[in-house]
């Protein structure tokens, strides 16, 4: 009697061990199959931005510092970057690698016509554009670019403190900012080309000297453009800007907007 019970216990115990081992084996097979898929998915979803800082006119002293700051900012947010001042990178094959092109204090006539066409086609295929500060001093004679960026630089007073008004408190580039943001920078006046954009920030011209637009002085904006997306901020003149958290978050929000275009081919 006791021997029979003992045998039954051994049999039950053996069956339990078999099913436990089988369950573990199934989980391991699933996990082994899932890990490569996860790694592949993460690789596919990672975005890439090209930082372009070529200058054929004025070159900002902050250029080298700003390049490293933007690289670090993107790396901290799982965005890959490359930086160049080589206009030959603006060809249809190379530009396909990037989700957005960031013009970082670029200036002057930096492209030939073939390179301009490659960039136009890149935007039309859903690519993103981010312009920082001196980007509006670039390619004055290129009509398509002027309409995209919206305005060209048209002078500035001496750098000084001013109050920036946050006009859009919901955008990724501005939702973290105080409604009235007092900061030191070089405040651009503009020659408007296309004011059909969404204003993010404007200047209170009563808080500084040298403004040229009275009660309507946009200083950062965004819009869909020709199949792609554009974001421009006139902030970012000096080295100190690129260690200022509010400003860096402002730039990051612009980058995130530009790279997140569902229409990109």
80-122 confidence digits (pLDDT tens): 999 999 999 999 999 999 999 999 999 999 999 999 999 999 9
Tell whether 264 is covered by a domain.
no
SS3 readout for 148-171: HHCEEECCCCCCEEEEEEECCCCC
Q: Calculate ∠ Cα 58-64-67, nearest 5°.
A: 105
Q: Check whether residue 81 and residue 38 sit in a common domain.
A: no
> How would residue 2 be classed by pLDDT, with cut points 50, 70 and 90?
very low
Task: Provide the domain count of the chain.
Answer: 2
Tell whether 168 is covered by a domain.
yes
Q: Check whether residue 41 and residue 132 sit in a common domain.
A: no
Q: Check whether residue 18 and residue 80 sit in a common domain.
A: no
Q: Render the burial of 42-57: b for 16+ CB within 10 Å, e for the rest.
A: eeeeebebbbbbbbee
Q: Check whether residue 12 and residue 73 sit in a common domain.
A: no
Q: Check whether residue 32 and residue 52 sit in a common domain.
A: no
Q: What confidence score (pLDDT) does residue 20 get? A: 52
Tell whether 239 is covered by a domain.
yes
Q: Check whether residue 250 and residue 208 sit in a common domain.
A: yes
- What digits encode the pLDDT tens for the residues 55-81? 999 999 999 999 999 999 999 999 999
Q: What confidence score (pLDDT) does residue 34 get? A: 39
CB 198 within 8 A of CB 229: no
Q: Check whether residue 84 and residue 147 sit in a common domain.
A: yes
Confidence check: pLDDT of 183 > 60:
yes
Confidence check: pLDDT of 181 > 90:
yes
Q: What is the mean pLDDT of the chain?
A: 89
Q: Check whether residue 217 and residue 105 sit in a common domain.
A: yes
Tell whether 206 is covered by a domain.
yes
Query: Which structure tokens are listed for 148?
Result: 């995209």
CATH number for position 57: 3.40.50.880
Q: Check whether residue 11 and residue 119 sit in a common domain.
A: no
- What digits encode the pLDDT tens for the residues 119-151? 999 999 999 999 999 999 999 999 999 999 999
- Residues of the chain above pLDDT 90, percent: 81
Q: Check whether residue 35 and residue 95 sit in a common domain.
A: no
Query: Which structure tokens are listed for 81?
Result: 């970057």
Tell whether 171 is covered by a domain.
yes
Q: What confidence score (pLDDT) does residue 24 get? A: 55
CB 224 within 8 A of CB 183: no
SS3 readout for 194-229: CCCCEEEEEEEHHHCCCCCCCCCCEEEEEEEECCEE
> How would residue 262 be classed by pLDDT, with cut points 50, 70 and 90?
confident
Q: pLDDT: is 29 or 232 the higher one?
A: 232
Q: Check whether residue 36 and residue 65 sit in a common domain.
A: no
Q: Check whether residue 53 and residue 39 sit in a common domain.
A: no
Alpha-carbon gap, residue 212 to 128, rounded angstroms: 29
Q: pLDDT: is 17 or 240 the higher one?
A: 240
> How would residue 9 be classed by pLDDT, with cut points 50, 70 and 90?
low
Tell whether 265 is covered by a domain.
no
Tell whether 227 is covered by a domain.
yes
Confidence check: pLDDT of 160 > 80:
yes
Tell whether 102 is covered by a domain.
yes
- What digits encode the pLDDT tens for the residues 216-259? 999 999 999 999 999 999 999 999 999 999 999 999 999 999 99
Range of the domain at 39: 1-45
Q: What confidence score (pLDDT) does residue 263 get? A: 77
Q: Give the range among 9-18, 207-216, 222-231 with minimum mean pLDDT.
A: 9-18
């Amino acid at each position: 009697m006791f021997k029979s019970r003992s045998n039954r216990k051994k049999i039950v115990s053996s069956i339990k061990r078999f099913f436990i081992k089988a369950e573990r084996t199934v989980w391991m097979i699933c996990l082994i199959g899932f890990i490569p898929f996860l790694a592949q998915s993460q690789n596919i979803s990672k975005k890439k931005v090209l930082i372009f800082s070529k200058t054929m006119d004025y070159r900002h002293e902050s250029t080298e510092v700003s390049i490293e700051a933007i690289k670090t900012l993107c790396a901290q947010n799982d965005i890959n970057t490359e930086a160049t001042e080589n206009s030959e990178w603006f060809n249809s094959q190379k530009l396909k690698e990037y989700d957005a092109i960031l013009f970082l204090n670029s200036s002057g006539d930096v492209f030939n016509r073939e390179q301009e066409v490659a960039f136009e086609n890149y935007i039309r295929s859903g690519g993103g554009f981010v312009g920082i500060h001196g980007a509006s001093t670039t390619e004055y004679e290129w009509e398509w670019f002027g309409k995209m960026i919206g305005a060209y630089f048209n002078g500035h007073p001496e750098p000084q403190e001013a109050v920036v008004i946050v006009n859009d408190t919901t955008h990724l580039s501005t939702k973290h900012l105080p409604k009235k943001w007092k900061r030191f920078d070089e405040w651009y006046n503009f020659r408007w080309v296309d004011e059909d954009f969404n204003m993010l920030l404007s200047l209170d011209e009563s808080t500084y000297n040298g403004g040229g637009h009275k009660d309507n002085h946009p200083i950062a904006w965004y819009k869909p453009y020709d199949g792609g997306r554009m974001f421009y901020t006139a902030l970012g003149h000096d080295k100190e800007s690129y260690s200022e958290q509010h400003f860096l978050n402002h730039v990051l929000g612009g980058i995130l907007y530009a790279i997140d275009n569902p229409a990109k081919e």
